[in-house]
Amino acid sequence: MENTPRVAVIGAGPSGLTAAKNCLEAGLDVTVFEQSDQVGGNWVFNSRTGHSSVYENTHIISSRAWSEYEDFPMPADYPEYPNHRQLHAYFEHYARHFGVMDVIRFEHWVDHVTRNEDGTWHLRVIGPDGAALEEDFTHLMVANGHHWNPKHPDYPGEFNGTWMHSHDFKGVNDEWRGKRVLVIGAGNSACDVAVEAARVADHVALSMRSGQWFLPKFMFGKPTDVLGSSMPTWV
């Protein structure tokens, strides 16, 4: 293939968008392959289970000041912790502002990637009509995230109740009312699920391997991460 750099970016989420934006600013020929029909990655809410996305009531866990792109601030009327609809709109505005929308191929699934002998990359891509197309690129950026493939623990014994992975959790409904819920883990997803379940369930418990510190979103009137960044390192 020609020596002119051609860049392929897999995924039009937060990382893929800024990767493509920087390629465009450098004058590179870049193509973004996105399997869905929208930008934003996990921040595009989808009620369909089996699809990795935010929950119905998700708000970002880091503050606006620590989550926005440096060269594209979030709107001034956004709250300190925007919800997923606001984040999705923000990513769309970012992509349109920097011309990234023009280089995205929506509903294109990268099915297989191989390295050519000359060091370039060969991609097989499935289009929206199901047809496969193949292209070569000099550079490849993989920005498909790590939340799309759920990891299920292998526990001995049997459990007769209802169980699910946070990957399939979209929100609570009346089926959760009056139930006793055990959430395994203490990460971001676990805390989100526990809070949502506590709205309707009779009892919610968190099971974790080691002790954790749980901090509020605000301390002394400021977002906790903003406050922490302004404190001396010895504190």
Which tens digit of pLDDT belongs to each residue from 207-216? 999 988 888 8
Half-sphere exposure of 6 (CA within 13 A, CB side): 13
Domain of 186: which CATH number?
Answer: 3.50.50
Statement to judge: residues 13 and 127 lie in one domain:
yes
225 membership: H or E segment, kind and range: helix 224-229
Do 48 and 56 meet the contact criterion of CB atoms below 8 Å apart? no
DSSP state of 167: G
Tell me which of 75 and 159 has the higher pLDDT: 75
Burial group, residue 63, by CB count within 10 angstroms (0-12, 13-18, 19+): buried
Statement to judge: residues 87 and 201 lie in one domain:
no
Do 111 and 128 meet the contact criterion of CB atoms below 8 Å apart? no
Statement to judge: residues 40 and 114 lie in one domain:
yes
**Considering 142, 167, 197, which residue would you say is the last residue of a domain?**
142
Which token pair is 224?
Answer: 């906790």
Beta strands in the chain (DSSP E): 6-10, 29-34, 104-106, 109-115, 121-126, 132-137, 139-142, 180-184, 203-207, 218-219, 222-223
Domain that holds residue 232: 151-235
pTM: 0.88
The model's pLDDT over 124-164, given as tens digits with 9 standing for 90+, comes to 999 999 999 999 999 999 999 877 778 888 889 988 999 88
